[in-house]
Amino acid sequence: MSPRYTRAIAAASPHPDPSLALEFCRLRRASPIVLLSGCVGFGEEYTRVEGFSNREAGAIVLKGTTLKPRLGNPLHRVTETPMGMINAIGLQNPGVEYVVKNILPTLDFAETRFFANVCGSTIDEYVEVTRRFDDSPIDAMEINISCPNVKEGGVQFGNYPEMSARVVAACRKVTKKPLITKLSPNQTDIRENARRCIEAGSDGLAVINTISGMVVDLKTRRPVIGNVQGGVSGPAIKPIALLKVREVYEVAKPHRVPIIGQGGIESANDALEFLIAGATTVGVGTGLFYDPLLCPKINAGIAAYLRGARMASVAELTGSLVAGPDGDCG
């Protein structure tokens, strides 16, 4: 890929290039970028940074929200690793009622789309959180069945296709808003899970969540993370995430179910790889911690690539992976 297509433009426009506009789960968006849950708080975390604008993202996924307030996991919760980090926050949040009544009214829905991140320890809790967000201005909901950092819920549902489908089907009954299921990489067959979630009513899929991992303190011989394990994110997981996106794309394409591709994106080149592999949009999370002004650079780089490739829209990139010598990607 020629560097001239993806070189960041220092003085990027405050509004994404028109070629980046697309439709995702029946929602028109100005950019393929999605700011990922847990990385931008409840939507305003980075607006205090000079030069940052929510308008550079096509959507923002709010922090994971449960039915009742949660204090989260014991310390330590975050540590850096080579090419990334591990977190085990444990879904700390003030509960859905507080989010709907006190946080959503402060968000500017004219800036971008806002997605809720729905979490629970039981199917009934997922349903109640979904029901509450349905009666709110939120644009869509991400069903988080893949958080590796909690002892109940999360991967307890997300690693088993039948359980994943049950959660999605139950949430589907209480909302007509778009549902995006966040899939776990910590499972045997992500394709089967994707298929079952689509059949259960998922409008979109987020691929992938963090990968379970651990770090040891050599002085104490104890885990660095208080929860023992946490979720690995950042560039270290990108090759795994790309493959999972391609695998899920092969299942989702016949149903026209779009994918948020995520896992280690910190440049326009990274984002382009995910789009070509099969993602409709790309999620940015850990990369923001290192460069809060990453979004306009990614937007500018994608737009430059489209111009160089003589493509009118970013949608043309989705799933455009060129196969091997015999034309078969399988």
Q: What is the pLDDT of residues 111-120, one digit of tens each?
A: 999 999 999 9
Establish if 77 belongs to a structural domain: no
φ, ψ for residue 269, nearest 5 deg: -60, -45
Establish if 83 belongs to a structural domain: no
Q: Which domain holds residue 96?
A: 3-72+88-212+233-317
Task: Count Cβ atoms within 10 A of the Cβ of residue 330 and give its class: 0-12 exposed, 13-18 middle, 19 or more buried.
Answer: exposed
Kindly give the residue spans of alpha helices, DSSP state H, lying in the chain.
Answer: 3-6, 96-98, 123-134, 155-158, 161-172, 190-200, 238-252, 268-277, 286-290, 294-308
Establish if 263 belongs to a structural domain: yes
CB 287 within 8 A of CB 5: no
Stated length of the chain: 330
Helix, coil or strand: residue 93: strand
As a whole number of angstroms, the longest Cα–Cα distance in the chain is 57
In the chain, how many domains are there? 1
CB 298 within 8 A of CB 5: no
Q: What is the pLDDT of residues 243-264, one digit of tens each?
A: 999 999 999 999 999 999 999 9
Establish if 110 belongs to a structural domain: yes
Establish if 80 belongs to a structural domain: no
Q: Annotated catalytic, 119?
A: no
Give the rounded distance of the alpha carbon of 320 from its chain centre.
21
Establish if 324 belongs to a structural domain: no
Nearest-angstrom CA–CA distance, 91 and 69: 9
The two tokens of residue 151 are 């002892």
Q: How far is CA 52 from CA 173, 288, 323, in A?
A: 38, 11, 38
Q: Is 3 left (phi over 0), alpha (psi -120 to 50) or beta?
A: alpha
Strand partners, 216: 223
Pairing outcome for strands 222-223 and 216-217 = antiparallel
- Lay out the sheet containing 230-233: strands in order across: 78-81, 84-87, 230-233, 211-213
pLDDT at 151: 58
pLDDT at 6: 33
pLDDT at 147: 75
Establish if 82 belongs to a structural domain: no
pLDDT at 279: 98
pTM reported for the whole predicted model? 0.92
Q: How far is CA 98 from CA 69, 133, 197, in A?
A: 9, 11, 29
* Per-residue model confidence as pLDDT tens for the chain (330 residues): 333 333 233 334 457 899 999 999 999 999 999 999 999 999 988 999 999 999 999 999 999 999 999 999 999 999 999 999 999 999 999 999 999 999 999 999 999 999 999 999 999 999 999 999 999 999 999 999 977 656 566 667 888 999 999 999 999 999 999 999 999 998 989 999 999 999 999 999 999 999 999 999 999 999 999 999 999 999 999 999 999 999 999 999 999 999 999 999 999 999 999 999 999 999 999 999 999 999 999 999 999 999 999 999 999 999 999 976 554 554
CATH of the domain at 107: 3.20.20.70
Catalytic residue from among 39, 147, 171, 197: 147
Nearest-angstrom CA–CA distance, 268 and 301: 5
Establish if 226 belongs to a structural domain: no
pLDDT at 266: 97
